[in-house]
Amino acid sequence: MAILNARLGTPPGRTAYLAGMELMDVGLANLALAAITGLLAGAHASTWGMYKDSPYEGFRLGKYVRSLVLGAGFGVLWELALRIDLGAASARLLLFGLVYVAERAAVEVYKACFREEDQSKYTIPMQLAVGGRVVQSKAVRWMAAAGWAATLLLVAWGVQGLQDRPDLLAPGIALVLAGSLGGWVSAVGGACKDAPIEGFELLKFFRSPALALAWSFVVSAFTPSYVLIGLCSLGFTIATIETYKTFGGRPPGKWAGKPLLHAGVLAWRGRFAPILFGIWAALVGHIAWAWVQGATLVAGM
């Protein structure tokens, strides 16, 4: 548009203004799409969380909305960091996975290290615990959060270094390592939290790495970045596992043996299920759309 106006004799100042407005419109459209994509990721997480927890602790609107707000916010932040062209289905899929892992990480670190809550209502403590015993010291929990963040950055740096040195490993092996790495981190963290209470389950331990690896083969069609592949694959892995756990018929481990204090929720919580499965339908449709459309590769940060 700006070029056309310049050819028609539009003054240079006006042409520059129109070019700026055009870029702004494109930017705002992408940010709006990023917020919507993030909102859907947050809605997915909120819905399975509500479905599993509300019979035990009741439905809390603020808790449900929390993930929606975080999802939309992380969607915008990822878009500002990566400048993804969200007109492509593959780019929206990538953003969904990235938002999912960021939102889940933020919520879990908050619950483990910063939230003050009576842990006796849980079978498995949600607050940071060692050997099943809750860490009461705020200072220790805050240092643990800082250590977790530093470890995450160190791992990302190492994965990026692996990509910068393609001579170190064959591309296929590097992809397997990067794609499954988030799953291994999730598996180790889950085992440290759950195993002291409910015992170590071998198949459960390998579930996250296996799913993350499977998702990485899908995500690698959207981006060549090992860091983004690892993060996005973990996001989709969490979404897959939590959906299975929600409808798998087994009570959540953190509530095992606890009474249903809000059993009335069981009568109406199913009304939220279409949100969860509707988002899954959109994701599957986007995968097919990306395959037909052709993936738009997103570079790393």
CA within 13 Å, CB half, 220: 16
Q: In this structure, which amino acid lies at residue 143?
A: M
The pTM assigned to this predicted structure is 0.88
DSSP E strands: which ranges in the chain?
129-130, 133-134
Distance CA 134, CA 259 (A): 22
* Residue 131 CB burial class (10 angstroms; 0-12, 13-18, ≥19): exposed
CA within 13 Å, CB half, 209: 16
**Lookup: tokens for 73:** 């916010």
Cβ distance 241 to 208 under 8 Å?
yes
Distance CA 100, CA 149 (A): 17
Query: In which residue are the tokens 């106006």 written?
Result: 5
Distance CA 300, CA 81 (A): 9
Four-residue CA torsion sign, 72, 74, 80, 86: negative
Within 8 A by CB and 6+ apart from 19, the residues are 1, 2
DSSP state, 8? Answer: T
pLDDT in tens for each of the 301 residues of the chain? Answer: 333 333 334 454 444 544 444 445 448 889 999 999 999 999 999 999 999 999 999 999 999 999 999 999 999 999 999 988 898 999 999 999 999 999 999 999 999 999 999 999 999 999 999 988 999 999 999 999 999 999 999 999 999 998 998 888 888 899 999 999 999 999 999 998 999 988 899 989 999 999 999 999 999 988 999 999 999 999 999 999 999 999 877 788 899 899 999 999 999 999 999 999 999 999 999 999 988 876 556 666 6
Distance CA 200, CA 38 (A): 34
Within 8 A by CB and 6+ apart from 15, the residues are 2, 5, 6
Distance CA 21, CA 205 (A): 52
Task: Give bridge partners of residue 129 from the DSSP assignment.
Answer: 134
DSSP line for 204-270? HHHHHHHHHHHHHHHHTTT---HHHHHHHHHHHHHHHHHHHHHHSSSPPGGGTT---TTGGGGGTGG
Residue 72's φ and ψ, nearest 5 degrees, are -60, -40
CA distances (Å), origin 158, targets 52, 186, 211, 222? 36, 18, 22, 21
